[in-house]
Amino acid sequence: GKTENWSWGANFARNGIAALAYDPLGQGERLQYFDAARKASLIGNPTGEHGEANVPTLLIGDDLARYMVNDSMRAVDYLTSRKDIDGARIGAFGCSGGGTATAYFAALDPRVRAAATACYITSFEELLRSPTGVQDAEQTIPHFVEEGLDFGDWVELAAPKPYAIVSTTADMFPFEGARQTYEEARRLYAIFGAEDRLQWITGPGGHGNLGPIAPAILGFFAKNLKGSADAPVYTATRPQHPEDMQCTPTGQVSTSLSGETVSSINRQRAGRLLAPQQVIGSKADLARMQARVRQDVRSLTAAAVEPGRAAAHVEVKASEARAGYRVETVSLASDASMQVAGFLAVPDGAGLKPAVLLLDSQPPGADFERLAKAGRIVLLLEPRPTPPGTESIKSPYLGSFNLLSLRAFLVGKTLVGLRVDDAIRAVDWLCARKDVDGAALTVYGNGSLGIVALHAAVLDGRIGRVVMENSLTSYRMIVDQVVHRNVSEVVIPGVLRKYDTGELLEAVYPRPVTIVNPRDALGDPVSEADFRKGLAYVFESDRRLGRPGRIRLLLGGGREHVFE
């Protein structure tokens, strides 16, 4: 932000270059989730704020990066309005998140004459296999890698304007990736005959250690904005009175100006972009809607497994006899390189038995035992993926799956889609067993896995009943509520332009769905009145189609009737 960049601003000015530094979203006076009582961000650090603000934008098919690019472009609008600024000689420079913004901005705004991106440019091949992996929401644009793009494309889109890739040797953005991107971009600059306009400025140390190479960075801008060959001097400095850098009376745009936030703007945009909630009144309309939603689920989640198309493989690791049933420790082959661990309960006795697939991150509990003793085959799976131990927690509100989901988005995948594939493979295996009654198959999902169970049922007609517990009531709640908690596992980019949970409920008609203790976007309980109001169009559809009691809502304790 502007205070952090005081030293750079002073040194640019001393070398004859005016410098404008502003607070990015989530920093300084532009906190998106300002807690007036604590006088700090409710979410945590800036990257946490970025992640929290990004979630609802993803749901409507946007990305936080659009807001950051807009900031940069508006900054140039301001600069070029001033009589003391030469609008033909605008440069852009930033480090880390600022380097990200600079890379995007310099590629997209032709008014930028020269740009230097520090401690950001690398390659996704190196970044995705590094211990730190992806870092921030705006740096991880859905489908980017899937579409064949890489860091080099930002540099090359800016060609042939003067460009400096600035790297430190021990950065969390791998140095080797920066070398690869520099070499690639140099070949493209050569096509323009502009090899001398591309520089790779390198220095020692970790992320953001620009002190040793600060003169070289200043020299790059002095040459390309002023035509000066002089070697600039960089003198580290601090503002004598940091409070003088405060622009608003209260220290926050939100409390001084009642300014908009990404969340509030996104809600306004959502009103224009969201798919309409429609009451289904006929079997013909229902069939058309169900076909569309199945296609949309495939497209948006990237779930790829077709029910019953291939034999699923489960390996039994261990077996233990219990009173009335046996328990097997099993491993489901998820794909060529992944195994999903689970537990299988098989009741004693011959004949076909109803089956329940439990999707839950918890070990076998009371439900597992009760269902087995009641004569049901029970398969408990914790679907992939689970976050690695090195995963950075950007904010307690974002949870441990935030960066993992961003990684999936890059390559056109979603955690929901990966888990739906595992659920369908598990159903394949259950239906292939000679002791399973394929006409009596229930899939249960707890928490985020309730959303998975519902998506799986849309794609797999063999699932006769769905049970969701402690699950998100609707994606729209994430947009409507300012703050949300642990929803990264269920985020699907662009989902609200096509469907919400209500459309999924309609798409599994006429199969019954039991919803136990639904939750809002913060994870708090939703009342029956609010639940029925939010899904009123679904209940009305069921009434018109002749199944008014198909969706059953259970609140509070008492679990003995959940699976009936």
Q: What SS3 string covers 377-441?
A: EEEEECCCCCCCCCCCCCCCCCCCCHHHHHHHHHCCCCHHHHHHHHHHHHHHHHHHCCCEEEEEE
217's enclosing H/E stretch is helix 214-221
- Structure confidence at residue 498 (pLDDT): 97
The answer to whether 477 and 524 have CB atoms below 8 angstroms apart is no
Strand boundaries in 160-211, DSSP class E: 163-168, 198-203
Dihedral sign of CA atoms 460, 465, 470, 471 in order: positive
How far apart CA 226 and CA 337 sit, in angstroms, is 55
Taking the CB of residue 338, how many other CB atoms lie within 10 A of it?
Answer: 12
Dihedral sign of CA atoms 295, 298, 301, 302 in order: negative
The answer to whether 369 and 349 have CB atoms below 8 angstroms apart is no
β-pair partners for 345 = 327, 378
* Strand order, beta sheet including 90-95: 90-95, 112-118, 163-168, 198-203
Angle between helices 536-545 and 283-301 (to 10 degrees): 140
- Structure confidence at residue 468 (pLDDT): 97
How far apart CA 376 and CA 354 sit, in angstroms, is 5
Q: In degrees to the nearest 10, what's the CA dihedral of 358, 363, 369, 371? A: -10
Closest CA to 115 of 104, 128, 127: 104
**pLDDT tens track, the chain, 564 positions:** 788 889 999 999 999 999 999 999 999 999 999 999 999 999 999 999 999 999 999 999 999 999 999 999 999 999 999 999 999 999 999 999 999 999 999 999 999 999 999 999 999 999 999 988 888 999 999 999 999 999 999 999 999 999 999 999 999 999 999 999 999 999 999 999 999 999 999 999 999 999 999 999 999 999 999 999 988 999 999 888 888 889 999 999 999 998 899 999 999 999 999 988 999 999 999 999 999 999 999 999 999 999 998 878 889 999 999 999 999 999 999 887 789 999 999 999 999 999 999 999 888 999 999 999 999 999 999 888 888 776 778 899 999 999 999 999 999 999 999 999 999 999 999 999 999 999 999 999 999 999 999 999 999 999 999 999 999 999 999 999 999 999 999 999 999 999 999 999 999 999 999 999 999 999 999 999 999 999 999 999 999 999 999 999 999 877 777 888
How far apart CA 86 and CA 484 sit, in angstroms, is 44
- Length of the chain in terms of residues written: 564
Q: How many helices (H) and strands (E) does the chain have?
A: 19, 15
